[in-house]
Structure 1
């Protein structure tokens, strides 16, 4: 490879603008024994990168099972929804009971009013009879 081309690739490499193919060319160049003296300082770095590619991690990594919180959230949502419905029905039943009690009390009070009214009406009936009789007496006396 041309030395000028390698120098340009090294500059591009440190600017982080090289392609994968260009990086492979650099690794191939620095893996040789005849590297230009002014570029020998980069040789250990590229050799280290080549060695890292060959390394493999052999230990087993224990994976934690993923906890499914979505399932529990949905169960909690259903419980809250059902509780809300139950509370609503309970309050509706209480309101119906209150309305029935109020109706019964109103009916009882209207019955008492009606009885009092009927008693008063019967007394007025007697008063009407008295008025009619007195009118007859006044009419007969005036004639």
Structure 2
């Protein structure tokens, strides 16, 4: 093959637009002993590709079974979800009842405080009545 054709094929190769047949032509060209000096830099690359294609992996790879924790994680998630569905509404209902009881307690406390306050005012008035009663008894006793 002519040198110009090889240079054009190299350009196409580096632009990734060559066909498999053209790549085989380049490999065959660069596997020769005599390569032009300005193209010698590409020869090791194509020789490597030719050699790498023939290499095979011959060692055995020991395969260890993987421990699957996904099953146990999913079982635990289902258990937590079932626990929440079973006990969740009761706990929420208890919480709501407790809140309502607390609210009722606070309202009753306010009402009783208001009542005690009013009784306190009434007690002050009763002190005047008691004093009036004592004075009246003194007047009756003196007569």
- TM-score bracket for the superposition, by shorter chain length: 0.5 to 0.7
Closer, same or farther in 2 for the Cα pair 1:93/1:10, shift >3 Å? closer
Match of 1:48 in 2: 48
Closer, same or farther in 2 for the Cα pair 1:94/1:36, shift >3 Å? closer
Q: Which string of whole-angstrom CA distances, capped at 9 and with x for unpartnered residues, describes residues 6-39 of structure 1?
A: 1111122233333333222110111123433332
Tell me how far apart the structure 2 counterparts of residues 29 and 91 of structure 1 sit (CA, whole Å).
Answer: 82
Q: CA RMSD in A?
A: 2.9
Match of 2:73 in 1: 73
Question: Which one has the largest radius of gyration?
Answer: 1
2:58 aligned with 1:58: yes
Equivalences, count:
96
> What's the CA shift for 1:46?
1.1
TM-score of the pair, normalised by structure 1: 0.52
Unaligned runs of 5+ in 1: 99-143
Closer, same or farther in 2 for the Cα pair 1:93/1:40, shift >3 Å? closer
Unaligned runs of 5+ in 2: 98-143
